Amino acid sequence: MARSRKIPATKYPVERFTLENGLRVVLTPDRSAPVVGVAVVYDVGIRSEPEGRTGFAHLFEHLMFQGSENLEKLAHFRHVQGAGGTFNGSTHLDYTDYFEVLPAGALERALFLEADRMRGPRLTEENLLNQIDVVKEEIRVNVLNRPYGGFPWLKLPPVMFETFPNAHDGYGSFGDLESATVDDAKAFFDRYYAAGNATLAVAGDFDVAQATAMIQRHFGDVPARPAPKLPDFDEPGLTAERRDTYTDRLAPIGGVASAWRVPDPIGDFADYLPFVVLAEVLTDGEASRLVERLVQRDRSVTSIGGYIGFMGDEFGVRNPTALLLQAHMPPGGDSEKVLRTVDEELDRLVHDGLTPGELERTQARIATHLLRDTDAVLGRALPMAVLELQRGNPGLLNDLPKLIGEVTEAQIVTAAATLRPDQRATVEVLPGAAA
């Protein structure tokens, strides 16, 4: 049945240029509210860290907030918060980002701060040891002492993948973190934090000519260094199912998660996009297939979710990546039954197709989330910086709602047909003895 309405593209303006030192810049002005979002994204993430240095990409994100040659420790915090702004950073599989949201009049302050630490953070023994302790405490809080810590984003990759970049623990081991030296940190900065290995994006209330002059003034004299060659992280897909089971001493109930490889999200974007929609067809909302079957009808799980990418960043990840399903089960739950039901529902989708209105409803929900997210200035600056970094196409952010709306039922069925038992990796978490 033909759709009665197409999902339109958004029309956020995009200006692009590159400084002589290689820094790529994206500007997307919007004078509707006196606020700006600034994002700097470096092309280095968990997959880039060397063997013996697990957790180093995340550790370095912390080090970038510990002052610079020109500013003392915590100065970045004071300057942003003193202007009424907020800030943060995060580490992903394929990039690390830093960002601020401030009143429009404080744009130059944010640009100065980001350019200042791009020239060089304050890498001292004291800062390194302090931040190693901070990261170790994060691991304790978020993984070791939390129910389902690392499930499934840390537990599934070593089951699905063979190579170190794809399979290792991105949070890091205490041993690797504690053995890191200041020289290691300096070498990491010199290699990956070059201006030519980064993008800067500014969104919100600014004049393009004035912002361009500010960017040239603050970033133009950042020394140029060659960007490292981007590795090819690809590896062969699965030819037989892989399984692992572990016990979580803090988990009150069991859980199971499965992952299937999907097409290259950049090189095969047209084939990849249906998997983004398929994940939502299966699990998004009370009317989705697996929620209706497993939660509401069979009651074999208490919750189930599906998404693309181990960190849920479907439009900010390179190949290889995966479609994930994760579920928690009631006491006495049967993971084998859950997996068989997933297979049954996938077979039913392949054989019978979608129900009337199912695809349109799902596409509308995805588009609504995209539009809501890009309504905020940071929701434009950050993804545009990543899209420029990975694809050289920040304007793709405008096209995503429209492209989601153009995915067809036939493409969804074709994608579902690839999610076979012999091509999945599965990890089951068993509840601890105290459950």
Residue 285 shares a structural domain with residue 393: yes
Q: What is the rounded (10 degree) CA torsion for 108, 113, 119, 120?
A: 180
Peptide bond into 152 cis (omega under 30): yes
In this structure, the answer to whether residues 170 and 253 fall within a common structural domain is no
Question: How high does pLDDT run on average in the chain?
Answer: 96
**213 and 246 fall within a common domain:** no
- Mean pLDDT on 138-153: 96
Identify whether 231 is part of a domain. Answer: no
When pLDDT is averaged across residues 220-249 and rounded to a whole number, the result is: 95
Helix, strand or coil for residue 245?
A: strand
Burial class from Cβ neighbours inside 10 Å (0-12, 13-18, 19+) for residue 158 reads: middle
pLDDT in tens, 87-111: 999 999 999 999 999 999 999 999 9
Same domain for 58 and 20: yes
Residue at 236 is within a domain = no
**Residue at a domain's end among 219, 252, 277:** 219
SS3 content of the chain, % helix, strand, coil (to 5): 45, 15, 40
Total domains in the chain come to 2
pLDDT one-digit tens code per residue, 268-318: 999 999 999 999 999 998 989 999 999 999 999 999 999 999 998 999 999
Kindly state the average pLDDT of the residues 194-221: 98
Q: Which pLDDT belongs to residue 69?
A: 84
SS3 letters across 50-88: CCCCCCHHHHHHHHCCCCECCCCCCHHHHHHHHCCCEEE
Domain-ending residue, one of 204, 219, 234: 219
- Residue 433 pLDDT class (50, 70, 90 cuts): low
Instruction: Give residue 2's pLDDT.
Output: 43
Question: Cβ neighbours of residue 89 under 8 Å, at least 6 residues apart?
Answer: 61, 64, 65, 96, 97, 98, 99
264 plus 372 within the same structural domain: yes
**Is 348 inside a domain boundary?**
yes
Six token digits for residue 179: 């053995």
State how far the Cα of 22 lies from the Cα of 419, in Å rounded to an integer: 41
277, 418: one domain: yes
Residue 291: in which H helix or E strand, if any? none
pLDDT at 4: 44
Cross-strand bridge partners of residue 16: 26
Residue 10 maps to a domain: no
Q: Is residue 2 part of a domain?
A: no
pLDDT confidence band for 1 (50 / 70 / 90): very low
294 assigned to some structural domain: yes
Q: Are residues 264 and 162 in the same domain?
A: no
94 and 130 within one domain: yes
286 in the same domain as 340: yes
Kindly tell me if the per-residue pLDDT of 337 is higher than 60: yes
Nearest residue to 106 via CA among 85, 86, 77, 76: 85
* 109: phi then psi, degrees, rounded to nearest 5: -60, -45
| Residue of higher predicted confidence among 154 and 6 | 154
The whole-model pTM stands at 0.96
Q: What is the pLDDT of residue 3?
A: 45
Q: What is the pLDDT of residues 355-378, one digit of tens each?
A: 999 999 999 999 999 999 999 999
Number of residues that this document lists for the chain: 435
Extract the tokens encoding 120: 């060089």
- 5 falls in which pLDDT band (50, 70, 90)? low
- Look at residues 185, 219, 253 and tell me which one is the last residue of a structural domain: 219
DSSP-derived pairing of the beta strands 303-308 and 198-204: unpaired
Based on the fold, state whether residues 198 and 293 are members of the same structural domain: no
Residues 6+ apart with CB under 8 A from 288: 280, 281, 282, 362
Q: Is residue 225 part of a domain?
A: no
Which H helix or E strand runs over 138? helix 125-139
- Is 232 within the bounds of a domain? no
Tell me if 397 sits within 8 A of 383, measured CB to CB. yes
Q: Residues 170, 280: one domain?
A: no
Secondary structure class of 306 (helix, strand, coil)? strand
Provide DSSP, 314-333.
Answer: TTS--SS-EEEEEEE--TT-
Question: Assign residue 204 a region: left if phi > 0, alpha if psi is -120 to 50, beta otherwise?
Answer: left
* Tens-digit pLDDT profile for residues 37-80: 999 999 999 999 999 999 999 999 999 999 998 999 989 999 99
Phi-psi region of 106 (alpha: psi -120 to 50; beta: other; left: phi over 0): alpha
Angle at 170 between CA 279 and CA 110, to 5 degrees: 90
* pLDDT for position 47: 97
Q: What is the pLDDT of residue 57?
A: 97
C-alpha distances out from residue 191 to 43, 56, 117, Å = 11, 13, 15
| Count of Cβ atoms closer than 10 Å to residue 125 Cβ | 10
Q: Are the CB atoms for 348 and 354 separated by under 8 Å? A: no
Give the CATH number for residue 58.
Answer: 3.30.830.10
For residue 301, count other CB atoms closer than 10 A to its CB: 26
Which tokens is 349 given? 């989708």
Residues 202 and 248 in one domain: no
**Residue 386 pLDDT > 70:** yes
Q: What is the pLDDT of residue 307?
A: 96
Residue 6 has what pLDDT? 85
CA-based radius of gyration for the chain: 23
202/200 Cα distance (integer angstroms): 7
Expressed as residue numbers, the domain containing 87 is 15-219
Dihedral of the alpha carbons of 42, 48, 49, 54, in degrees to the nearest 10: 110
Tell me what percent of the residues of the chain surpass a pLDDT of 90: 96
